[in-house]
Structure 1
Amino acid sequence: MKRRKNSFLNSQVDDDPISSVANLFDVAMVFAVALMVALVTRFNMTELFTQEDFTIVKNPGKENMEIITKKGEEITRYKSNNSVKGDGKKGKRVGTAYELENGEIIYVPE
């Protein structure tokens, strides 16, 4: 009687413990990309990835007001500080901003 070779028992098993770490790294990368996409869409920051120029005013009229402007590839961010009030510096009015019913803000220079 001939013995049959059982290919399942004689197969080479990959005993490298690092091979499972590579798979975990791939899963972590997919999770990180999905998390970034979810955060960008959740906070409506998709404008940062367009070619259009824009200006965003966060918390208008409050102490922590912030103005974010994108012109071409350059993004500038201005945070208001209340140092102008106490420094005795004086300024001049340079224009007026109007908010329309649809939420759009129009700046009219004087």
Structure 2
Amino acid sequence: MRSRRYRRTGILHDPEDENPMTGVANLFDIAMVFSVALLVALVMSHNIPELLNPTEDVTIVKNPGEKNMQIIEKKGQDIKVLNRTDEVGGGTGEALGTAYRLSDGRVVYVPENKSETS
């Protein structure tokens, strides 16, 4: 009987084709490939492909000058996020010289000569 049934259905009939989950089995893999492609497209649209390169160092300033400003530094594989605070740096020290900005935008540092000022 079994051989007769096989001959009747032919080679095209496979008992595994009756399982409705066979078509759904690879949906997770497809979703993962889609999410990675979406991530790469997002990085490329923001013109920061340096984030994908592990050898390149990148510094990004988000919301510069505002209260919620952040500085994101990537050095190799390490990523550090610095948030703005209202704390002011301070301490004691000595003046080392004067910096001047020229009309063409360059900055010139002139050190103080201790022997002349004393």
TM-score range, shorter chain: 0.5 to 0.7
Cross-structure match for 2:78? 74
TM-score after normalising by structure 1? 0.59
Q: CA deviation at 1:68?
A: 1.1
Q: CA deviation at 1:17?
A: 2.1
Letter in 2 for 1:24: L
Q: CA deviation at 1:72?
A: 2.5
Q: What is the CA deviation profile of residues 33-69 of structure 1, one whole-angstrom value per residue up to 9, with x for unaligned ones?
A: 2211111112233222221223222221111111111
Q: Cα 1:16–1:6, aligned 2, differ >3 Å: closer, same or farther?
A: closer
4+ residue runs of structure 1 moved beyond 6 angstroms?
A: none
TM-score after normalising by structure 2? 0.56
Cross-structure match for 2:29? 26
CA RMSD of aligned residues (A): 3.3
**What 5-or-longer segments of structure 1 have no aligned partner?**
99-107
Cross-structure match for 1:49? 52
Letter in 2 for 1:19: T
Aligned equivalent of 1:12, options 11, 14, 30:
14
State which structure, 1 or 2, has the greater radius of gyration over its C-alpha atoms: 2
SS of match in other structure, 1:30: helix
* Percent identity for Structure 1 against Structure 2: 48
**What 5-or-longer segments of structure 2 have no aligned partner?**
1-6, 92-98, 102-107, 112-118
Paired residue total: 88
